[in-house]
Amino acid sequence: MNEVIVATKNAGKAKEFVQMFEPHGIVVKTLIDYPELPDVEETGETFAENALLKAESAARLTGRPAIADDSGLVIDALGGRPGVYSARYAGLDKDDKANNRKVLDEMTGLPDEKRSARFTCVLAVAFPDRQEPVIVEGSCEGRIAHEEQGTNGFGYDPLFIPDGFEVTMAQLNAGEKNAISHRAAALQKLRAVLPELAGEPK
């Protein structure tokens, strides 16, 4: 069985990795399957630093290659915020509702042309031996809606209108999101190392 470890505890991300790997016959294990592994403090100042911290910790503790995802929403009018702090923007870690409300409050009154934003995803692959880690990045351009719309996806999806669409990411179905998302774009760049990653579990 081909299997990869994705070092995330975010159920929304986990679901998308399963959807993207499944057609290739690759089974995804996440940290939700390894509840005994300790939390990694995301002390980095960039997506890449945090992705690497998470991937290296998982590879070390499982003894297997691991992928980690550090991602977020970068809003031009807010000087790039919430950025690396996307998960904890409103203070309480992982409160999607509060995060979305804070973004909308901060952007009150801004017209569409001043609401440009992008989702960014950095994927890091770390290996348990001395092999150098691999880091790739994908992004998805769009703009911030004036109110939350849609219930699919997770996080900031109800606020994000991808370029070329008039609906939010949360109004797209899984297949539509995975065709254009920052996560899919980054994963596409990892194709070269996938055979190494999805080896037989030892």
Ligand X SMILES: O=P(O)(O)OP(=O)(O)OP(=O)(O)OC[C@H]1O[C@@H](n2cnc3c(O)ncnc32)[C@H](O)[C@@H]1O
Q: Report the site for ligand X in 52-111 (rule: CB under 6 A).
A: 69-73, 86-87, 94
Tell me if 121 sits within 8 A of 137, measured CB to CB: yes
- Please check if 9 is assigned to a binding site: yes
Binding region for ligand X (CB under 6 A) out of 18-26, 104-112, 126-134, 152-160: 152-160
Write down the catalytic residue from 33, 70, 96, 129.
Answer: 70
What would the 3-class secondary structure string for 74-121 be? EEHHHCCCEHHHHHHCCCCCCCHHHHHHHHHHHCCCCCHHHCEEEEEE
39 tagged catalytic: no
Question: Using alpha carbons only, how large is the chain's radius of gyration in Å?
Answer: 17
Residue range at the interface with Mg ion (CB under 5 A); choices 85-93, 139-147, 152-160, 165-173: 85-93
- Given Mg ion, ligand X, none, residue 153, with its beta carbon under 5 to 8 Å by kind, binds ligand X
86 binds, among Mg ion, ligand X, none (CB under 5 to 8 A by kind): ligand X
The position carrying tokens 């973004």 is 103
Instruction: Write out the binding residues for ligand X, residues 4-43 only, by CB under 6 A.
Output: 8-10, 13, 42
Structure tokens belonging to residue 141: 């351009």
CA dist., res. 73 & res. 66, Å (int): 24
| Residues binding Mg ion (CB under 5 A) | 87
Query: What amino acid positions are annotated as catalytic residues?
Result: 70
